[in-house]
Amino acid sequence: MAVEELKKTLVLGHRNPDTDSICSAICYAGFKHQLTGENYEPCRAGNVNPETQYVLDYFKLKAPRLVENVKTQVKDIEIRKTKGVSRGISLKNAWGLMQENNVVTLPCVTEEGLLEGVITIGDITKSYMNLYDSSIISKACTKYANILDTLEGSMVVGDSEAYFDRGKVLIAAANPDLMENYIEKHDLVILGNRYESQLCAIEMEAGCIIVCEGAGVSLTIRKLAQERGCAVITTPYDTYTTARLINQSMPISYFMTKENIIEFSEEDYLDDIREIMASKRHRDFPILDSDGKYIGMISRRNLLGAKGKSIILVDHNEKSQAVEGMESADIREIIDHHRLGTVETMSPVFFRNQPLGCTATIIYQMYQENHIEIDKTTAGLLCSAIISDTLLFRSPTCTPIDKAAGLALAQIAGLDIEKYAIDMFSAGSNLKGKSDGDIFYQDFKRFTVGNSVFGIGQITSLNAVELKDLRTRMSAYTEKEREQHEIDMMFFMLTNILTESTDLICTGQGAEQLIANAFHVKDEDMENVSGQTGIVKLPGVVSRKKQLAPQIMMALQ
């Protein structure tokens, strides 16, 4: 899974996404997939506004997946796929798997894939320190199948699926008379080929006898063992080797850590787990998926040089507008039509920035340059983005290239561009039932110039009455948001598409006067609402990017 995630590249627009941001992400992800065959996923960094939702519904598309931050997660790094083992496997097999896979920790999982515990080389080493506990094999509830596997033995009498769960382990080195003094009921007795010793152990009600050096077991002994319920195992090993190896037959469940296991989810962020990993002596930590099932292991070494999520930015290049966690992301490309901002990259990237009215126009050009056919849905999305960003070619940001692209795309998509634009704008300006916050942050961007920070929100509408009704309530809300977020100045554009004009709400010390000076506004076009909040009429101003933001920046500088 980690490898698949690493191969996926997320295509993301800015926070508070508009129609260009969403549509360009969808179309550029499709373009890159067609061009390279690799996995690109369009995403969004905020909620879909009504205008964009209209476009998605019109073309029967779901909104891209919401990604609120791109911090590096466990699933973004290489997870070692150490296979989970059953709690019943022997210490010998566990050791063998560790050597084979060059690991020091094995996860124990259920048949359903749930983590039960972990066993380490240290746990196996400790098992050999219990030299004076001759009952440890029964305490561990050791399966006869494990004993057979460890000793390369054969089950002569008994059930290999049964368990040795009572009694101690001992070696019958004395004569039968002495053996009677220390063999107890249920014991496991290691002995040789002496008939009398075998007989004595069975008569003393031993639970199991292990006959060493491949010695045969007589029919009489087999019959008697069957009658007395005594298991009989033969092994090719000598008595010393058998006694030394038998501890390795114990199941790992007796020694593994079952409680207070430090485990992580594949959704956890590396920033959150680094400190935990550094404070523990463990070398490996199990990783679980969203269903709580084991998927692999990571160690501190995996965090070294870990690459973040692969992402492509569209319709923005400023850190203040980007999704959270950009610092840890691996930015591959930037496709934009705004001023150059503050996004920094770890290595050179493909950066295409053109002074056009819409990012979608650039993407349209890239389809043409690479001779990739544009289907009707893609054409419709790109056309919608151009209509939105250029206000159907009315915005001063619109270039002849944007208009030519929009008209060509409308033809491919089979759209009556004038009618479609009116329906789209009407859907976007339908403000019934919306809170002040919904309206304010529907299309909002934050800017930094030197030590000054300002924000600009915008609502566009075909309905002059609706815009007029918003003046009072949005003035109060704009000032409240400015104070709450400690921003120097906040502006909100009430833009009438039909009259191509804006009533600009200005809040903050000197904000109204700054706009008046920048646009040479007459006193009759200025209205003081209260305190530091005023409204300025700006005829011919409809673009935040090309008309309002640059003027504010110049004035502040």
Residue 35 belongs to domain with CATH number: 3.90.1640.10
What is the reported pLDDT for 408?
A: 97
Give φ, ψ of 174 to 5 degrees: -90, 175
CATH number at residue 492: 3.10.310.20
Last residue in a domain, options 268, 303, 338: 303
The number of folded domains in the chain is 4
Residue 133 in any domain: the answer is no
The pairs formed by 56-65 with CB atoms below 8 angstroms and a separation of 24 or more are 56/22, 58/380, 58/384, 59/377, 59/380, 59/381, 61/26, 61/377, 61/381, 63/22, 64/22, 64/25, 64/26, 65/41
Determine what percent of the chain is predicted with pLDDT higher than 90: 63
Last residue in a domain, options 229, 249, 269: 249
Read off the pLDDT of each residue in 47-62 and give the average, rounded to a whole number: 95
Task: Specify the 3-state DSSP secondary structure of 288.
Answer: strand
Read off the pLDDT of each residue in 191-212 and give the average, rounded to a whole number: 92
**Do 353 and 416 reside in the same domain of the chain?**
yes
Query: How confident is residue 6, by pLDDT bands cut at 50, 70 and 90?
Result: very low
Q: Average model confidence (pLDDT) for the chain? A: 90
Q: Does the pLDDT value for residue 132 go beyond 70?
A: no
- Burial environment of residue 294 by CB neighbours within 10 A (0 to 12, 13 to 18, 19 or more): buried
Strands 154-157 and 142-143: unpaired
Domain interval for residue 373: 2-72+308-428
**Do 68 and 80 reside in the same domain of the chain?**
no
Q: Which two tokens stand for residue 246?
A: 């038998």
**Do 344 and 441 reside in the same domain of the chain?**
no
Last residue in a domain, options 231, 249, 267: 249
Q: Is the dihedral of CA 513, 514, 520, 525 positive or negative?
A: negative
What is the reported pLDDT for 300?
A: 81
Task: Specify the 3-state DSSP secondary structure of 241.
Answer: helix
Query: How confident is residue 281, by pLDDT bands cut at 50, 70 and 90?
Result: confident
> Which strands, in side-by-side order, build the sheet including 294-299?
264-265, 284-288, 294-299
Give φ, ψ of 160 to 5 degrees: -65, -20
For the ranges 16-20, 50-54, 282-286, which has the lowest average pLDDT? 282-286
Q: Could you report how far apart the first and last alpha carbons of the chain are, in Å?
A: 50
Residue 536 in any domain: the answer is yes
Nearest CA-CA partner of 311 in 46, 67, 74: 67
Looking at 246-358, list the stretches that DSSP marks H as alpha helix, in order from N- to C-terminal side: 270-279, 300-303
**Do 266 and 376 reside in the same domain of the chain?**
no
Residue 136 in any domain: the answer is no
What is the reported pLDDT for 528?
A: 85
**Do 164 and 208 reside in the same domain of the chain?**
yes
Residue 195 in any domain: the answer is yes
Residue 117 in any domain: the answer is yes
Highest-scoring range by mean pLDDT, 3-7, 317-321, 404-408: 404-408
For the ranges 89-103, 303-317, 363-377, 444-458, which has the lowest average pLDDT? 303-317
Place of tokens 């496991």: 188
- Residue range 209-249, pLDDT digits in tens: 999 998 889 999 999 999 999 999 999 999 999 999 999 99
**Which H helix or E strand runs over 291?**
none
- In angstroms, the CA 38 to CA 30 distance is 10
What is the reported pLDDT for 305?
A: 67
Residue 483: CB atoms within 10 A of its CB come to: 13
Query: How confident is residue 5, by pLDDT bands cut at 50, 70 and 90?
Result: very low
**Do 213 and 263 reside in the same domain of the chain?**
no
**Do 53 and 111 reside in the same domain of the chain?**
no
How many C-alpha atoms does 1 have within 13 Å on its Cβ side?
Answer: 16
- Residue range 482-519, pLDDT digits in tens: 999 989 999 999 999 888 899 999 999 999 999 999 99
What is the reported pLDDT for 249?
A: 94
Nearest CA-CA partner of 555 in 508, 523, 517, 521: 517
- Burial environment of residue 463 by CB neighbours within 10 A (0 to 12, 13 to 18, 19 or more): middle
**Do 268 and 121 reside in the same domain of the chain?**
yes
Q: Does the pLDDT value for residue 477 go beyond 90?
A: yes
Q: Does the pLDDT value for residue 474 go beyond 80?
A: yes
Q: Does the pLDDT value for residue 4 go beyond 50?
A: no
**Do 7 and 55 reside in the same domain of the chain?**
yes
Place of tokens 């709690």: 87
Strands 40-44 and 65-66: parallel
Residue 134 in any domain: the answer is no
**Do 409 and 507 reside in the same domain of the chain?**
no
Residue 135 in any domain: the answer is no
Residue 519: CB atoms within 10 A of its CB come to: 19
Residue 132 in any domain: the answer is no
**Do 315 and 411 reside in the same domain of the chain?**
yes
Place of tokens 């759209």: 415
- What is the DSSP code (8-state) at residue 295? E
Query: How confident is residue 3, by pLDDT bands cut at 50, 70 and 90?
Result: very low
**Do 416 and 321 reside in the same domain of the chain?**
yes
Is residue 441 left, alpha or beta, with left meaning phi > 0 and alpha meaning psi from -120 to 50?
Answer: alpha
